[in-house]
Amino acid sequence: MQGIILDELEKYVGRELGEPGLSRMRGLTGRGEGGYRFDSSYPDEEVHLIVRGVAEATGKAPEAILEAFAEAMVPGLLGVYGFLVNPRWSFLDLIVNTEGVIHKGVRVTSTSAKPPAIQAERVGPEAVTIFYRSRRKLCSVAKGIVRGAAAHYRVAVTITEDSCMLRGDSECVITVNAQD
């Protein structure tokens, strides 16, 4: 997992659980106060350890935590990778160009990065279908990023999930409808 994702997860944990909760989560990963480097990769298990710890502390489902965290991390991601986003893009353009431009740029700037395979295509003037494939099965993160990006663009969205790897499907098929 990319360091920027784990760094943003730590920020989220700090907001949700305060400094004592953040210290506890760092203890679960054995990371201590060292934190994460943006340009480094870390074991995927650290995300799961942290999310399980937050779930135990809050009683929230892990998928709900992942989605809320991902939504909250969008401003941080745009702060680092915003130079890859064409300022003329609409919200749906951003979603459609995630794999070809954003993920490609992430792989160039951080050679150890392994973002999920995402194929997104327009299925209507205000709709995009996302085909998400990843051994990590973090489709909740994908949905949260969509919600965070929609908030950034000030667009209301409806998200439906027609298939999901967490339910045994081979991929997640997520349809995003934007309302102005």
160's tokens: 């439906």
Q: Can you identify the CATH homologous superfamily of domain 70-179?
A: H-NOX domain (3.90.1520.10)
What percent of the chain clears pLDDT 70, i.e. is strictly above it? 91
What are 92-130's pLDDT values in tens digits? 999 998 877 666 666 666 666 666 778 999 999 999 999
- When comparing pLDDT for 115 and 16, which is higher? 16
What are 136-161's pLDDT values in tens digits? 899 999 999 999 999 999 999 999 99
Quote the pTM value. 0.89
**In the chain, where are the structural domains located?**
3-60, 70-179
Give the integer Cα–Cα distance in Å for 69 and 65: 6
The four Cα atoms 32, 45, 99, 77 give a dihedral, to 10 degrees, of -20
- Phi (first) and psi of residue 131, to 5 degrees: -105, 110
Residue found under tokens 């892990």? 62
Question: 48-81 burial string, b = 16+ CB within 10 Å, else e?
Answer: bbbbebbbebeeeeebebbbbbbbbbbebbbeeb
Give the integer Cα–Cα distance in Å for 113 and 69: 19
